[in-house]
Amino acid sequence: AQTVTQSQPEMSVQEAETVTLSCTYDTSESDYYLFWYKQPPSRQMILVIRQEAYKQQNATENRFSVNFQKAAKSFSLKISDSQLGDAAMYFCAYRDPNFGNEKLTFGTGTRLTIIP
């Protein structure tokens, strides 16, 4: 079974600075999807960024970018120019292509605090 590990329960960063959240995963598949989700106090899971394993280029979405190291099975999230609204729980997730769209395996999350 696939597993996703987030080894940083909590992280903090000064407003406007850069922070990197770590994620490692385990799979025997060669093709899969990786995601970072944000969960603010409203509890709704919001997709931040998505990476397809067959793409060598790292995904970017505005201030959010990933460092995808397929051989190392590592998928870190970098948040640049941190803003107060970035404070939330961040979850790394894996999707097995054999199960279609829906079955996501999540890590245990990293709580990100933004210091004004």
Partner 1 sequence: DAGVTQSPTHLIKTRGQQVTLRCSPKSGHDTVSWYQQALGQGPQFIFQYYEEEERQRGNFPDRFSGHQFPNYSSELNVNALLLGDSALYLCASSYRQGVKEKLFFGSGTQLSVL
List residues near partner 1 by CB under 8 A: 4, 42-47, 50, 91, 93, 99-109
Give the shortest CB-16-to-partner 1 separation in angstroms: 29
Q: Rounded to 5 degrees, what are φ and ψ at 84?
A: -55, -35
Q: In the complex with partner 1, which residue's Cβ is closer, 14 or 113?
A: 113
Q: In the complex with partner 1, which residue's Cβ is closer, 3 or 18?
A: 3
Token pair for 72: 């190392």
Distance (Å, rounded) from C-alpha 9 to C-alpha 62? Answer: 25
Q: In the complex with partner 1, which residue's Cβ is closer, 87 or 93?
A: 93
Give the shortest CB-66-to-partner 1 separation in angstroms: 15
Q: Is 57 buried (19+), middle (13-18) or exposed (0-12) by CB count in 10 A?
A: exposed
